[in-house]
Amino acid sequence: MKQFPGPQLLLGILLALLVAAPVSAQVYTVDYLGYGWEQASGPLKAAGDELIITSVADDIDPAFEIDLGTEEVTLHIYGLISDGPVDGGGYTIINYTGGYMDIYEDPAMNADWGINPPNATSPGTFTEGSLFFRGAFTSFTMYFDASGAYGSFEGNLDGIAGSIINEMCTNCVYTWGGAFTLEAGAQIPEGYWIQIDGTFEIDSAVDTETASWGSVKALFK
Amino acid sequence: MKTMMKGLLIVLVVAALPLGASAQQLFDFNGQALLPAGVGGQLTMYSVMFDPAPIDSPIPLDFANYEFTLVLEGATLTVDGISRIFAGGTVTIYQDAATSADYANPATFTDGTAILVGNLTSLSQFVPPVGPGSASGHLDWVGGTRLTDMAPDDQLNWTFVSGTNANSGTLEPGYDEVWDGKTEPPSTIVDTEAASMSKVKALFK
C-alpha cells in the first residue's frame, strides 16, 4: 500500500515551493515628463480636489520593445482626490485617495498639452492608442518643501489591465514617483498647476520561476 | 537721420522672426548621485540625457548619433537636514559618440565635448523623513562649444529640478540616490532667421 507523506513532509514541500528558485530582481522603467492640474474651484490642494496629470514618456526600458521614434507612450493620471494639506513639521504633505493611471502606446504621435486644461487636446491626445497599462492607486502622496515651490511625489499601484499585465513578471510591484515644481521660472503651460518629471517602475523583485519537483528537491540535497 | 535708420534696421534684423518654437523646452536627465558624507563635502551626479520629445530641447541636440550626459560636480553641502543647502558647483553637458555611459566607470560621463558648462547659483534638496526627495536650484551657462547658440540673456537663470530617491529599484551599486530631473530656460528660446532688408521693412507696411 502506498503511503501518503506525513504532515511534516507535506509542510516541508509547501515551504520549499514558497521559497522556490528565487530569480534575480529586475526593474523596468518608463521615464516621463508632464504637467498636472486640479479639477476643482477654490483654493489649490484643498480636500476634495481632483489631481489630473498628462505626461509623455521620453525613455522606456528596451524590454517593452517600443520605439519612441515611431510610437509615443502617454500617461493619464486621474481620480486622485486630495485629503487636504497637512503640516509635516516645516513642510507640507498631501495624501490622495483613489485614482488611476492609464498608459497608452499610440502611433499618432500627437500628444499636446495645450492650455487651460481640460481642453481639446488634453487629456484627449493622451488617452488614444492601445492600453499598455492601467493601475489603481493604493497610495499617493505629495511632499512640498517649506517654500511650497517644489517637492516630490510617490504612489503605489495595483496593476489591473493593459498589454503588459503579467507579461513582465507575476506579483509585480508598480511604483510611480518623481519631482514636481510650480516655480515661476519653469515653463508651465497656462492653466496647468505643476510640472512633473519622474519614473514609473515595475519591480519584479518578487518574481517566481516554474520549477520541477526534481529541481525543488535538489535545493535541499 | 541716416545713421539712426541704419541702427534701427540692425536692431530689427537681430530680433527678427522667431521660428516656430515649441511652448516648452528643457533638458531631461536621469542619473545617479554620490552624496557628501557631511557638511563641507561635495555632491556629484552623473546622468544620461533623453530626447524630451514632444517637448523640445532648448538647443537642437542630435540624439540619434550622439550620447549626451549631464554631470553635476563640486556642489558643497553647507546645511544638512530635511532641507539641505549646497553652495557652488557646476553642471556640464557632454556630447560623445565614442563611449557608452557606464555608472561603473564615471569617466564615461565626462568624455567627449563639453557643449555647455554652467555655474549653479543656488541648489537645495528637500528630503522628507518618508518618501522620495527633490532638488531645486538655478544655474547660469557660462561656457562650452554651444554656448553661443543662445543669446546672452537666454544663458542665465535656468531652473534645475530633480527627483531624488535613495530607495529606487534603479539605484546603481556604489551610488546613494537616483536623480531624475531636468533643467530649463526661464522662457522659450527662439531661433533667428536671416531676412533681407526688404522683408524686414515689409513687416512694417
Residues in chain A with CB shorter than 8 Å from the CB of B28 are: 31, 33, 58, 197
Give, for all 205 residues of chain B, the pLDDT tens digit: 455 544 444 444 433 333 333 468 999 999 999 999 999 999 999 999 999 988 899 999 999 999 999 999 999 999 999 999 999 999 999 999 988 999 999 999 999 999 999 999 999 999 998 889 999 999 999 999 999 999 999 999 999 999 999 999 899 999 999 999 999 998 888 766 566 677 667 766 6
**Separation between Cα atoms, residue A153 and residue B128, nearest integer Å:** 11
Q: Judge whether A3 lies within some domain.
A: no
By residue range, what is the domain housing residue B28? 21-192
Q: Of all helices (H) and strands (E), which one includes residue A10?
A: helix A7-18
**Beta carbons within 10 angstroms of residue B39's beta carbon:** 12
Q: In this complex, is the C-beta atom of B156 within 8 Å of any C-beta atom belonging to chain A?
A: no
Question: Strand (E) positions, B80-166?
Answer: 83-87, 90-96, 113-126, 133-143, 158-165
Q: Residue A107: what residue type?
A: P
Residue B28 has phi, psi (to 5 degrees) of: -105, 140
Q: Which residues pair with B69 in a beta bridge?
A: B48, B94
Q: Judge whether A173 lies within some domain.
A: yes
Q: In this complex, is the C-beta atom of A91 within 8 Å of any C-beta atom belonging to chain B?
A: yes
List all residues 6 or more positions away from A4 whose beta carbon is below 8 Å from its beta carbon: none
Q: Judge whether A7 lies within some domain.
A: no
Q: Judge whether B188 lies within some domain.
A: yes
Q: Judge whether A193 lies within some domain.
A: yes
- Cβ pair A146:B52 closer than 8 A: no
Q: Judge whether A11 lies within some domain.
A: no
Residues in chain B with CB shorter than 8 Å from the CB of A178 are: 132, 163, 180
Place of cell 533667428: B192
**Separation between Cα atoms, residue B133 and residue B12, nearest integer Å:** 46
Residue B134's SS3 state is strand
Q: Judge whether B58 lies within some domain.
A: yes
Q: In this complex, is the C-beta atom of B55 within 8 Å of any C-beta atom belonging to chain A?
A: yes
Number of separate domains in chain B: 1
pLDDT in tens, A54-110: 999 999 999 999 999 999 999 999 999 999 999 998 899 999 999 999 999 999 999
Q: Indicate the residue of B30, B157, B188 with minimum beta-carbon distance to A31.
A: B30
Chain B stretch 66-85, residues whose beta carbon is closer than 8 A to a beta carbon of chain A = 82-83
Q: Judge whether B201 lies within some domain.
A: no
Burial class (CB in 10 A: 0-12, 13-18, 19+), B168: buried
Q: Hey, what's the torsion of the CAs at B106, B134, A181, A41, to 10 degrees?
A: 150
ipTM: 0.80
Number of separate domains in chain A: 1
Q: Judge whether B16 lies within some domain.
A: no
Q: Among A203-207, A209-213, B71-75, B188-192, name the one with the lowest average pLDDT.
A: A209-213
**Separation between Cα atoms, residue A187 and residue B188, nearest integer Å:** 8
**Mutation target among B180, B184, B187, B188 for the A interface, most CBs of A within 10 A:** B180
By residue range, what is the domain housing residue A201? 22-218
